[in-house]
Amino acid sequence: MTKKAFIFLPDGVGLRNFALTKFNAIGTALGFEIVYWNNTPFKIKEELGFEEVLIENKKLHPLTTVYTRARKRAELNVFDKKFNETVYNTYNFPQSYKGLKNLIKSINVDFLVATNSTEKGLESIRTKIKKIERSTSKYEYCKKQLLEHQPDIVFCTNPRPTQAIAPILAAQDLGIPTATFIFSWDNLPKATTLIEPDFYLVWSNYMKNELLQYCPYVKPEQVFVTGTPQFESHFDRSLLQSKAAFYKSHQLDLAKKYICFSGDDIVTSPLDQYYLEDLAMAVRDLNNQGYNLGIIYRKCPVDFTDRYDAILKQYQDVVVSIDPLWRPVGTAWNEIMPTKEDFALQANICEHTEFVGNIASSMVFDFVAHNKPCLFFNYEQPQLKKGIRDIGQNYKYIHFRSMPSKEAALFVEDKKELFPVIKGIIDGKLSNVPQGKKWFEVVVGSSPTTASQRIWKAIKTIISKE
């Protein structure tokens, strides 16, 4: 008998892995009836031709954002105490106390955090979140949709959004098995899992251990190690153009070797444009010594600032901008959507550049998949002043402890090191690829090309358990 899978999209994050890849085609070939339970502005039926059920009720309980913010902060406090750390609280963003509404909300959050930063207190907050979301019109709305469509499973593509809470509770209360996918390598230590489904799908054994460490209410038998569809496109050779064709399509100089500078968002790297400038100056110096190098600047898809413009203009002799093929379907950062075409573009940039320069991004794994090195900038800029975040903080985050060795990336600790490191990479004398591949396997798992199949296998197993 055909089984109906509701692929639940609480926000746009899951589109990349579960609507724009081969995930749907694989599930269909396995005999599943796939319906996207769609809480996003993206028109799946219209754009992709897939069946969808729209969630039009977006109404949270008025206190949900207060309790979910408090939950995250209290969890991070518990992690700091439990693991004898100070790093977890660096994942917090400052609260706003401007305006009466923000003031009242932030004071309530502060009170809840002060009185509930214990395991027992966290359990109390988690229980409260479920109670208030069960009282909402959204919960009843989702319950009605589920009763009408009778799915055999609800698979949530992202456990972070508050919009996911009521739909998952509605499914559980109807006895429909629920599962979620941990979508990013840094989700778990950041305390961002807001839903508590019946099952969890993770990238690797490393991530499974993290999940059990940070979510003590989860049991090992609830966790499936599947890999992630995020990197599958890098192993699909059919997406790759020849070097000549790629260069021609982007008006690149076929005589040059190009370096990729992968831009960061303004929160991760507020002075990111100056690292691009440093790379451009080093490339000019190398070109003066007889090299013929250029830089492809790929901006962060959710960065809409003009902070790079002056640098791009000043160094247009060495820097070419190739924008990601993403597009907005809403106004929030998580409503800027990738396209199928961007998978191919990103894979070709990785394939046809010499290495990537970046700050603390998972692009290290994209490039290692193409046997290309990754350079991480790790020095302060002179423009750093009070109130501007130091990028060095990124490398202290817990997810960077997954590195099997410091050689898993090429860290540039001083601007003076940049020229010789670039020269060493171009000359074939420096590479992080051997250790980078080991890091890739730790984080992503050992079967990066079969993640979609393994996710469907897990979904089939979950349905058969019920």
What's at 438, amino acid-wise?
Answer: K
Q: How far apart are CA 180 and CA 202, in angstroms?
A: 9
Within-domain flag for 233:
no
> What digits encode the pLDDT tens for the residues 204-232?
999 999 999 999 999 999 999 999 999 99
294 and 428 inside one domain: yes
* Same domain, yes or no: 287 and 425: yes
Of 131, 166, 181, the one marking the end of a domain is: 131
- Among the candidates 87, 111, 131, a domain finishes at 131
Q: 178 and 117 share a domain?
A: no
- Token pair listed for 91: 């994942």
Considering the domain architecture, whether residues 326 and 357 belong to the same structural domain is answered as yes
**Residue 232 is assigned to a structural domain of this protein:** no
In the chain, the number of structural domains is 3
Residue 146 has pLDDT above 70, yes or no: yes
The pLDDT tens digits of the residues spanning 114-143 come to 999 999 999 999 999 999 999 999 999 999
What is the average pLDDT value for the chain, to the nearest integer? 95
Q: Tell me, yes or no, whether 312 and 283 share the same domain.
A: yes
Same domain, 358 and 317: yes
pLDDT of amino acid 183: 93
Same domain, 396 and 283: yes
Residue 201 lies in a domain: yes
Looking at the structure, do residues 292 and 312 belong to the same domain, yes or no? yes
Residue 238 CB contacts under 8 Å (≥ 6 apart), including other chains: none
**79 and 186 fall within a common domain:** no
148-185 per-position pLDDT tens digit:
999 999 999 999 999 999 999 999 999 999 999 999 99
In a domain, 419, yes or no: yes
Confidence of residue 311 (pLDDT cuts 50, 70, 90): very high
Domain boundary among 82, 100, 131: 131
Q: Is the per-residue pLDDT at 410 higher than 90?
A: yes
State whether 260 and 390 are in the same domain.
Answer: yes
pLDDT for 285-294, tens place per residue? 999 999 999 9
Please report whether residue 33 resides in a domain. Answer: yes
For 290, the domain range is 238-444
What residues contact 63, with CB distance under 8 A and at least 6 apart? 132
Report, in angstroms and rounded to the nearest whole number, the Rg of the chain calculated over CA atoms. 23
**Beta strand 257-262 pairing with 356-358:** parallel
**Do 142 and 277 belong together in one domain?**
no
Query: For position 50, which CATH number holds?
Result: 3.40.50.2000
Residue 260, by phi and psi: left (phi above 0), alpha (psi -120 to 50) or beta?
Answer: beta
Closest by CA to 249, choosing from 349, 162, 152, 390, is 349
pLDDT for the residue numbered 125: 98
Does position 71 have pLDDT exceeding 90, yes or no?
A: yes
Same domain, 273 and 400: yes
